[in-house]
């Protein structure tokens, strides 16, 4: 059985922490957009794109909507 080198495991933990940070920020942006939509009775469109992968998503929030519609690209 071979052990992972400490460098390899550190690289993995750094990429994992960056991914977690990105996902938390994306989720908080969605939450804030939803709150703004409800508080101000406004339609909100939130578009995000990850630079490294080029993955994009668009979310629409309306005051009557409870979850938001998401379109992945």
Which one is predicted more confidently, 5 or 46? 46
CA distance 49 to 72: 10
pLDDT of residue 8: 63
pLDDT of residue 33: 92
Residue 16, phi then psi, degrees to nearest 5: -65, -45
The answer to whether residue 9 scores a pLDDT higher than 90 is: no
The pTM score is 0.65
CA distance 54 to 2: 35
pLDDT of residue 56: 92
**What is the number of H-type helices and E-type strands within the chain?**
1, 3
Q: What is the pLDDT of residues 25-71, one digit of tens each?
A: 989 999 999 999 989 999 999 999 988 889 898 999 888 766 666 66
Q: Per 3-state DSSP, what percentage of the chain is helix, strand, and coil (rounded to 5)? A: 50, 20, 30
């Amino acid at each position: 059985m071979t052990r992972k080198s400490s460098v390899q495991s550190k690289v993995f933990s750094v990429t994992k922490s960056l991914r977690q940070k990105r996902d938390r920020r994306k989720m908080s942006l969605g939450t804030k957009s939803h709150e703004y939509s409800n508080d101000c009775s406004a339609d909100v469109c939130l578009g995000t794109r990850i630079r490294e992968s080029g993955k994009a998503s668009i979310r629409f929030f309306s005051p009557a909507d409870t979850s938001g519609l998401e379109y992945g690209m």
